Structure 1
Amino acid sequence: MWNITPWAFSAGIVLATLCGNGNAVGQTLAPTHRDVAYDDQDPSQKLDLYLAKSETPTPAMMFFHGGGWRAGSKDHVPNWLLRAVQQGQMSVIAVEYRFTDVAVHPAQVNDCIRAVQYVRENAEQWNIDPERIGATGGSAGGHLSLWVALHDDQADPSSDDPVKRQSSRVACAVGFAGPTDWSLLNELPHDHPAYRQLLGYEPGTPAEKMDPERKRSVSPISYVSADDPPVLMVHGDSDVIVPIEHSKRLLERLKAVGVPAELAVIEGGNHGVAGASDSVSVRASEFVREHLAEPAVTR
């Protein structure tokens, strides 16, 4: 399944061959707690908790689903995450967020930030280690995971809301085929309407007529800094929905500032890679175990 060459790994790039579609979103485990509200601005702001059975606090991964920021569901959690729950390795929190027909950017990233803070505020009652929380997702969820991971901490120590006082930082992130840089809309074809709808523009709006600051704000690459957590990106080299240049450019930026980063390139993979099926998630499982096995160390 994995064709890993030493030179590629040392450069932060893993080459892999796509072997079948696998079960992209096979749901084999019921949530321990369903539809827990993490905010009260909109009915969509809920999360499902898949809690691992453990005598000690477990690591946890936040799962942000895909669907063009206007569709999809937290109900569909990839098998590689559910297996980790069943094996007692970590807990998983599947997050629903506001779609663009309700509110445009930054509503989606704000919801994901809030969800991380909410989990950290309630970590003790859910037997979760607040220092070992990661983020993952595919397509739109990949974008959201990377945005959360790379953005500065949103904790507000002076807030009257105890949730807002919590850190929004994560210990690692895995993005499957997620867009990272809206400036690429000026350089490469991006025909899918979701890129523009996320920012409140009509489909087909020329990239040069979109506000540069809005494109900067929505792009995870804009927030890269040396204190960012380790990042893994998984991307198909035949993806025409989210060109692989998004991941390549982010990898280059992360490595330039010394952040541990990898890109697993799925040879022949299209945007179906975003589903995080068994055939493309092997390195993701290893990566999460490596970076959440022990309490996070502040870099």
Structure 2
Amino acid sequence: MNVVEHKDVAYGPFERNVLDAYLVSREDGKPTPVLIFFHGGGYVHGDKSVFLSTALMKECLEAGISVVTCNYRFITTDPFPAPMEDGTRAIQFVRNKAAEWKIDPDKIASSGSSAGGHIALWNALKGNLAKPDSEDPVERTSSAVCAFIGYGTQVSKDQRFYEGIYEGPHIQPNIAMFYGIASVDELYRPDVLKLAEEASAINFMSEAAPPIVMIYDFVFDLPRIPAEAPVGEVIHHPMHGYVLKQRYDEYGIPFVFRHTADPVRPGELVDFLLEHFG
């Protein structure tokens, strides 16, 4: 297997708009599918390099799937929608490079962990956000993906999401910074609630949603989040995936739900990708 690496490629105009590409070079010269990954870190830290040490990275390359890992703007300087818009731009950029990088533009999947998972999920459920009239050829490119894999992924950035499934004291970390407001006391202001609706991936669920896998490293034994759970568990709890799965089941779209009591099987993620790359 030969892998060509491109490091710190600028995909947009901002300092953190950089990505690394690990492109599988096939002997027959045919284009490869690609998985695009967004790192976690609460929207305030983290780096694209974190994916390099994962089993999925190794398994993808061995299976002939190219991998792209992306940085994005932090909310410390650029609140919502900046991180989501960077996710859109990164997917469009990779598809726009399809001919040069010998990747199949119809076989692009996305993935992410925690905050990066929500960025990728938000884009996956929003679908094609291309701007056909833009003068920028990247913006005219589709941002749709054919599959998604999420690790500890939130499905909502709206505190109202937790009503009825969590009775504990915790507020999502960095939530005021995420919306660019002064304090959490402003979360229920009408204009902020409107932002929260736009920021929450689950609100864009539709019959066009791609098949997904959601993986959580916490126990899922009740359809609620324990009131005594620490904040890290609250925001990464399997209830996020469970609630989204109900929407997916309504449409009959494939949804693989994994947690500590029902963990990922060996080879399952690559098999999932290959199946939905078609």
TM range (shorter): 0.7 to 0.9
**2:229 is equivalent to residue 254 of structure 1:** no
Q: Distance in 2 between matches of 1:81 and 1:265?
A: 17
Relative distance call for 1:149 and 1:213 in structure 2 (3 A) is same
Match of 1:5 in 2: none
Q: Which amino acid aligns with 1:184?
A: F
Q: What percent of counterpart residues are identical? A: 31
Residues 236-282 of structure 1 deviation map (CA, whole Å, 9 limit, x = unaligned): 3343342222111111112212322121122399xxxxxxxxx7875
Q: Is contact 1:98–1:108 with CA below 8 Å preserved after alignment? A: yes
Alignment size in residue pairs: 255
Larger deviation, residues 182-191 vs 82-91: 182-191
Q: Distance in 2 between matches of 1:50 and 1:114?
A: 18
Larger deviation, residues 181-190 vs 53-62: 181-190
Q: Which amino acid aligns with 1:50?
A: Y
Q: Distance in 2 between matches of 1:201 and 1:247?
A: 28
Task: Decide which of 16, 23, 28 is 1:44's aligned counterpart.
Answer: 16
Q: Which amino acid aligns with 1:258?
A: G
Relative distance call for 1:227 and 1:197 in structure 2 (3 A) is same
Q: Distance in 2 between matches of 1:108 and 1:240?
A: 22
How far apart are 1:67 and its partner, in Å?
Answer: 0.2
**2:213 is equivalent to residue 240 of structure 1:** no
* Cα root mean square deviation, aligned: 2.4
Q: Which amino acid aligns with 1:110?
A: E
How far apart are 1:142 and its partner, in Å?
Answer: 1.2
Once the two structures are superposed, the pairs formed by residues 274-285 of structure 1 within 5 Å of their partners are 282-285=267-270
Q: Which amino acid aligns with 1:194?
A: N
How far apart are 1:160 and its partner, in Å?
Answer: 1.0
Q: Is contact 1:31–1:48 with CA below 8 Å preserved after alignment? A: no
Q: Distance in 2 between matches of 1:46 and 1:146?
A: 20
Residues 143-198 of structure 1 deviation map (CA, whole Å, 9 limit, x = unaligned): 11111110031112221111011100001001111110223244534444233422
Q: Which amino acid aligns with 2:35?
A: M
Aligned partner of residue 125 in structure 1, secondary structure: helix
Aligned partner of residue 39 in structure 1, secondary structure: coil
Match of 2:45 in 1: 71
Q: Distance in 1 between matches of 2:137 and 2:252?
A: 33
Relative distance call for 1:196 and 1:286 in structure 2 (3 A) is farther
Task: Decide which of 33, 45, 50 is 1:59's aligned counterpart.
Answer: 33
Gapped runs of 5+ residues in structure 1? 1-28, 270-278, 295-299
Q: Distance in 1 between matches of 2:163 and 2:47?
A: 30
Task: Decide which of 32, 37, 41 is 2:5's aligned counterpart.
Answer: 32
Q: Distance in 2 between matches of 1:185 and 1:65?
A: 24
Larger deviation, residues 220-229 vs 84-93: 84-93
**Higher-RCO chain (CA-CA 8 Å, sequence separation at least 6):** 1
Q: Is contact 2:153–2:240 with CA below 8 Å preserved after alignment? A: yes
Task: Decide which of 214, 219, 222 is 2:203's aligned counterpart.
Answer: 222
Larger deviation, residues 256-265 vs 207-216: 207-216
**2:272 is equivalent to residue 287 of structure 1:** yes
Aligned partner of residue 19 in structure 2, secondary structure: strand
Larger deviation, residues 193-202 vs 142-151: 193-202
* TM-score normalised by L of structure 1: 0.78
Task: Decide which of 118, 125, 147 is 1:172's aligned counterpart.
Answer: 147
Gapped runs of 5+ residues in structure 2? 220-232
Q: Distance in 2 between matches of 1:281 and 1:101?
A: 38
Q: Distance in 1 between matches of 2:104 and 2:3?
A: 22
Larger deviation, residues 114-123 vs 229-238: 229-238
* TM-score normalised by L of structure 2: 0.83
Question: Which structure: greater helix fraction?
Answer: 2
How far apart are 1:126 and its partner, in Å?
Answer: 0.5
Q: Is contact 2:61–2:67 with CA below 8 Å preserved after alignment? A: no
Q: Is contact 1:75–1:94 with CA below 8 Å preserved after alignment? A: yes
Match of 2:104 in 1: 129
Task: Decide which of 183, 189, 193 is 1:212's aligned counterpart.
Answer: 193
